[in-house]
């Protein structure tokens, strides 16, 4: 079995919501750098909850989530903001582009928030990487769903995050557009060494993943690993 560098350690995590729903009930998994991990299972099994914990957007009720060796639950707000802005990229099912900003401006925004230099050149570079340089000046309403999601992937990757987290990224797309988006997520792992975690119902997404995590009722039922080259 090849050893992979762990980017996220989820250790015996539970997550209960107000009202008593136990969304996660003792989940442990190592999420590897340079690999695509797919979270699979029917609606309500806890995929989004686990993704939010992996992205330090939410915290365990018990157990711990370590990102780059740090337990997310022990970080203060400043450190959490730095972690999210510096280390993590998010892609959502509904794209969540800002409608009044151009494609380029949407991609540039995380860099501006992080007060980086050379933001426009970098945003253009990653927009080229997703194949949408010619749409730089377009507003979201002028783009197809697939193009919007590719802009969202560019935005998620613009700061070269170690973790790329995608919640049903092809859920609103036709097969062809979905495949293009999945290809970009695959390349983020292969070319940038990102740990890519995708919650998905899509058979295509499951097929291209290196690790398939089957979830049911807040638990991991099984983990299937595809062997590959170590990072």
Q: Which residues make up the interface to ligand ADP (CB under 6 A)? A: 17, 19, 21, 23, 43-49, 199
* H/E segment holding residue 148: helix 145-157
Task: Select the residue whose beta carbon is closest to Mg ion and give its number.
Answer: 48
CB of 19 to Mg ion, least distance (A): 17
CB of 42 to Mg ion, least distance (A): 10
CB of 51 to ligand ADP, least distance (A): 8
Give yes or no for residue 200 binding Mg ion (CB under 5 A): no
Let me know how many helices (H) and strands (E) the chain has, helices first: 7, 10
**Of 39, 61, 41, nearest in space to 50 by CA:** 39
Residue 176 vs 203, nearer CB to ligand ADP: 203
Binding-site member from 37, 48, 52, 177 for Mg ion (CB under 5 A): 48
Task: Measure CA 63 to chain center.
Answer: 22
Task: Work out what residue 17 binds among ligand ADP, Mg ion, none; the CB cut-off runs from 5 to 8 Å by kind.
Answer: ligand ADP
Identify any residues that bridge with 30 across adjacent strands, giving them in sequence order: 9
Identify any residues that bridge with 89 across adjacent strands, giving them in sequence order: 164
**Of 27, 32, 13, nearest in space to 162 by CA:** 32
Task: Work out what residue 93 binds among ligand ADP, Mg ion, none; the CB cut-off runs from 5 to 8 Å by kind.
Answer: none
Residue 154 vs 196, nearer CB to ligand ADP: 196
SS3 call for 61? coil
CB of 95 to ligand ADP, least distance (A): 18
CB of 199 to ligand ADP, least distance (A): 6
Residue 14 vs 81, nearer CB to ligand ADP: 14
**Of 207, 205, 213, nearest in space to 32 by CA:** 213
User: Whole-angstrom Cα distance, residue 77 to residue 70?
Assistant: 14
Residue 17 vs 61, nearer CB to ligand ADP: 17
Query: How many of the other CB atoms lie within 10 Å of CB of 178?
Result: 21
Give yes or no for residue 202 binding Mg ion (CB under 5 A): no
**Could you say which DSSP state residue 164 is in?**
E
Q: Which residues bind Mg ion (CB under 5 A)?
A: 47-48
């Amino acid at each position: 079995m090849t050893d992979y560098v762990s980017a996220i350690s989820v250790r015996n995590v539970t997550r209960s919501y107000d009202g008593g729903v136990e969304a996660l009930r003792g989940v442990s998994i190592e999420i590897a750098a340079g690999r695509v991990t797919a979270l699979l299972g029917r609606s309500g099994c806890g995929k989004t909850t686990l993704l939010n914990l992996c992205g330090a957007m939410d915290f365990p009720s018990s157990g711990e989530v370590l990102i780059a060796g740090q337990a997310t639950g022990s970080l203060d707000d400043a450190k959490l903001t730095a972690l999210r802005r510096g280390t993590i990229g998010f892609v959502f099912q509904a794209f969540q582009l800002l409608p009044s900003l151009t494609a380029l401006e949407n991609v540039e925004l995380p860099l501006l928030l992080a007060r980086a230099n050379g933001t426009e050149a970098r945003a253009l570079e990653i927009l080229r990487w997703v194949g949408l340089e010619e749409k730089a000046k377009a507003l979201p309403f002028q783009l197809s769903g697939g193009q919007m999601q590719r802009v969202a992937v560019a935005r998620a990757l613009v700061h070269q995050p170690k973790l790329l987290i995608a919640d049903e990224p092809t859920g609103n797309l036709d097969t062809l557009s979905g495949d293009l988006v999945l290809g970009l997520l695959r390349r983020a792992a292969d070319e940038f060494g990102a740990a890519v975690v995708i919650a998905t119902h899509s058979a295509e997404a499951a097929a291209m993943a290196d690790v398939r995590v089957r979830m049911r009722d807040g638990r991991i039922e099984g983990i299937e690993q595809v062997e590959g080259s170590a990072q």
